[in-house]
Structure formats: structure tokens, C-alpha cells
Amino acid sequence: MLTLTTPADTLRYVRERRHAGARIAVVPTMGALHRGHLALVERARAAVGPAGTVVATIFVNPTQFDNPDDLAKYPGCDALFLPEAAAMYPDGFCTFVETVGPLTDKLCAVARPGHFRGVATVVAKLFNITQPDVAVFGQKDLQQVMIVQRLISDLDFPIELVVVPTVREADGLAMSSRNRRLSAEGRRKARGIPAGLEAARRAYAAGERSSLKLAEHVYDELLSEDGVEIDYCDVVDLRGFAEADTATGTCVLAVAAFIDGVRLIDHVALDGPAIPNQD
Ligand code: AMP
């Protein structure tokens, strides 16, 4: 697998690949890879075919930088774009992609001001650098993927967005690079997130429509534990991305919770498939 560290080298590489007839897929990540990322790479490969080119990217704030070597072990990627911060944000950088409106005034945007502006800016840059036909993102980061969808359509990127369902541990916990920061006890408490979401999904299937009552299932699972703080637990209608007092089939229940200081997010489509929770 080729490792690229500058935008110019990466652009040259993808142009050569495209000239050779390859379709290009990009899989943006922040490193610390897990099976969820692998599912994205597999989906990217399926989208562009064996003759296509799959480029994974790892870019995080340098202070959060994780061991990049692990991507080299991942099958399925042709190239890894691994820029340093200075290559992405050189001195004098002053242009950002601003996000406004319902997608950026609730859920994760409240606790993380400026976060989605940063996401939109870096994703737009990665699209320009890797020139993909297909971009693959995870459903787990719901608000992020919806912002990327708007970014693609609002800024006319000729890119097909592919969204991969959340890959979970056997007990239902959504895979996340943050899970490795949980203690054994924190890991046990974190099960309450998928358990509560699944209980809410079942309650919805059984006819419950009150968003407060649905959210209570998550509170019931989590608030009995010490060291757990719920940041938000809201029913959101994906049409319009508005909070809903009464749940419908286009709603999700989305939660963010701090477990021993580690912020985890997850959501369930109320009318969607079950979250497996093994006992
Ligand atoms: P991250 O490295 O955590 O920023 O994630 C990079 C990409 O992987 C994003 O598109 C995430 O939505 C996706 N991703 C993270 N966790 C999962 C998961 N458990 N299942 C599927 N995709 C995921």
C-alpha cells in the first residue's frame, strides 16, 4: 500500500489512476482503526471494483494523533493519505466551509461548537485532494454523514455518498476508537447505550410514540450507573432534522453520553432493524 503525505502527491496519484481508467473511492478516518473502518474499506472496494482505487485518509488534530501503522495492516486499500497538519493547514490558511441551520444547531453541535465547520472544511479539502467518485462514511456518526450529504449537494461535488451501517461489538456497543479508552467497568456501563436504544426501538414497535417515554428507556439503562452523564438523548426526525415530541417512522433516537469521561454516541432508527444485544 502506498503512503502519501502531501496533497500534491495524492492529487498526482489519483489523476494517474483515473487516467488508467480506475474509479476512485475515499474513506476518511481519524486512525485508531477498528472493524467499523474495515467495513467502510470493504464497501469502498465493492463500489469501485477490483480495478478501482481505494484511498483511505487519516487526519486528526496532531495532538490526538494515533498510531498510523495499523492501517498498513488493513486489506483493501491501495493508498493511504496521511498528511501532517501543516500540509493541510499551512500558515495563512483562512478559508472555511461554514455550516448553518438545523443540522448544526442540535445534538453534537451543542457540546462541540465549531466541530462541524471543521468537519465540513476538512472533508471538502479531502474531496478536492482525492477527487473521488465515491465517498464512504459510517452511519454511526449520523449528524456528520448528514452534513457530508449536504456538503456534497450544496457545493456540487460530483461524488456518490455511500453510508455503511454501524458495526457493533457482540453486546451491541457501537465500535469506536474511543471504546479503547474505557476501563473494564466503563465498558460494562457502555452496554447501557445500545440496550437502552434497543428497548426504545421495541417500545416504538409496540406502539409507544411519546419521545419522552422512548428516551426514558435510555435514561433507565444509564442513570442507575455512577460516572455516567447523558449529554443528549433526543428523538430527531431525519426529514428536516428537527426534534420531535411525537415519534414517527422517519425518526431516530440519538444519544451522546459520557461514560467515565469518555463521550460515546449512538442512535437507532425507531422503525429500523434491531440492535443485537447478547447477554
Ligand atoms: P473516525 O475515525 O471515528 O472519525 O471514523 C471514520 C469513519 O468511520 C466515519 O465515517 C465513521 O462514521 C466511520 N465509523 C466509525 N465507527 C464506525 C462503526 N462502528 N461502524 C461503521 N462505521 C464507523
Q: What is the pLDDT of residue 68?
A: 53
CA of 197 to the centre of ligand 1 (A): 19
What is the percent of the chain with per-residue pLDDT over 90, rounded to a whole number? Answer: 90
Q: Which of 29, 126, 152, 268 to mutate to test the pocket of ligand 1 (most atoms within 8 A of CB)?
A: 29
What angle (nearest 5°) sits at the alpha carbon of residue 161, between those of residues 85 and 169? 80
CA of 166 to the centre of ligand 1 (A): 8
**pLDDT (tens digit, 9 = 90+) per residue, 246-276?**
999 999 999 999 999 999 999 999 999 999 9
Closest listed residue to residue 264, CA positions, set 229, 224, 215, 220: 229
Cell reading at 228: 455516567
Query: What strand order describes the sheet that includes 53-58?
Result: 2-4, 79-81, 53-58, 24-29, 134-138, 160-164
Q: Which of 34, 38, 40 to mutate to test the pocket of ligand 1 (most atoms within 8 A of CB)?
A: 40
**Other CB atoms within 10 A of residue 16 CB:** 11
CA of 20 to the centre of ligand 1 (A): 30
pLDDT at 31 over 90: no
**pLDDT (tens digit, 9 = 90+) per residue, 108-124?**
999 999 999 999 999 99
Q: What is the pLDDT of residue 264?
A: 98
Q: Clarify whether 34 is annotated catalytic.
A: no
Backbone phi, then psi, for 253, in 5-degree steps?
A: -105, 120
